[in-house]
Structure 1
Amino acid sequence: MSQPQPKAFPVSWDQFHRDARALAWRLAGAGTFEAIVCITRGGLVPAAIVSRELGIRVIESVCVASYHDYTSQGELRVLKGIAPEVARLGGEGGKGVLVVDDLVDTGKTAKVVREMLPDAHFATVYAKPLGRPLVDTFVTEVSQDTWIYFPWDMGLAYQAPIAENHRG
């Protein structure tokens, strides 16, 4: 018996923009934030949208690499930490800081960033069940076996019908 294919969830630029704005709407009622820390690279686009919608001007990044070949998670590496002046906002734990990423998958990256900013508010556009407990606010939950194809990773190409992937 062959391994089941992961479910494909392609996201267009329009859809991602709507979802990131929906995240901003939810965050507008979650408190006041002094700064955004985006987890690069995936958090850059939603952080730009959220910062515009919420009027947040201080934007920092933390660079954590986990997907080295775009298909599977590997060893986690912090390539760039958070600037001390941002990490100290609201006290040593990052209270008043909003951490933004595109997706929480297994939660490994979120756990590393949570250790850096334990009191920050963590928000993602999409969440999978394993990482979901580490996120304070998200828009859409997808199954763990779903692969999200973000618009910045795709070009226009033919997509096989779902039924073709389930024939056996």
Structure 2
Amino acid sequence: MAADPRVGAVLSWGDVEALTGSIAERVWADGAPEAVVGVLRGGMVPATLLAHRLGVRDMRAVEVTRTTADGVGAAKAPEPQYRNPASLGVLAGLDVLVVDDIAGSGATLNRARRLVRALGPSRIRTAAMAVNRDNWSTEPGPEEAVDYIGELYEGWVVFPWERH
């Protein structure tokens, strides 16, 4: 798999544990959230790990997708699509952490943040376990647009749950 020049990293479960541990330490330093929202599908893995590390029992999920298939170099829709925003429930007044596995352009995480913002939380923070700099073409850059980044990569990132 790493022979594909578009692949910047192939992560192991140990890498995932280390990246979520690093993010959890930084989130904890800023105050534990009251709710964690995972972006379906891939974002649920780091969201669950972070919720456990932070002692947060209130977990939610929202389906926001931009890639149209799985696999290296998968095509992307022009804009992130979302379904069932009601799955977020009531977030009014809560400190919320929105988590995705990867941010390419940041559009998916930004759409999820807007969906959460519409529900009136007191605070919204975002986390991405990985950022693919090759896809990030907008300002601000990822370091300013995403509150907590596990690691910056050049190229497609393959996660352990994507390998069959």
Q: TM-score, normalised by structure 2?
A: 0.79
Q: Confirm whether residue 123 of structure 1 aligns to residue 118 of structure 2.
A: no
Shift of 1:59: 0.1
Q: Aligned runs of 1:1-168 on 2, under 5 Å? A: 5-70=5-70, 71-75=74-78, 76-81=80-85, 82-86=87-91, 88-90=92-94, 96-118=95-117, 119-129=123-133, 130=136, 132=142, 133-143=144-154, 146-155=155-164
Q: Percent identity?
A: 25
| Structure of greater Rg | 1
5+ unaligned residues in a row in structure 1: which ranges? 91-95, 156-168
Aligned counterparts of 2:152 and 2:8: Cα–Cα separation in 1:
14
CA contact (8 A) 2:132 2:156 kept: no
Give the match for residue 166 of structure 1.
Answer: none
Query: Structure 1 segments of 4 or more deviating over 3 A?
Result: none
C-alpha deviation, 1:128, in angstroms? 3.1
Secondary structure at the aligned position of 2:90 is classed as helix
Per-residue CA distance 1:80-120 (angstroms, 9 max, x = gap): 2143412x133xxxxx1011111111111122122223441
1:99 counterpart SS class: strand
**Is this contact kept in 1: 2:7–2:158, CA < 8 A?**
no
TM-score normalised by L of structure 1: 0.78
Secondary structure of 2:25's partner? helix
Count matched residues. 144
Q: Distance in 1 between matches of 2:40 and 2:20?
A: 16
Amino acid at match of 2:9: F
Change (3 A) 1:8 1:138: closer
CA offset at residue 73 of structure 1?
1.4
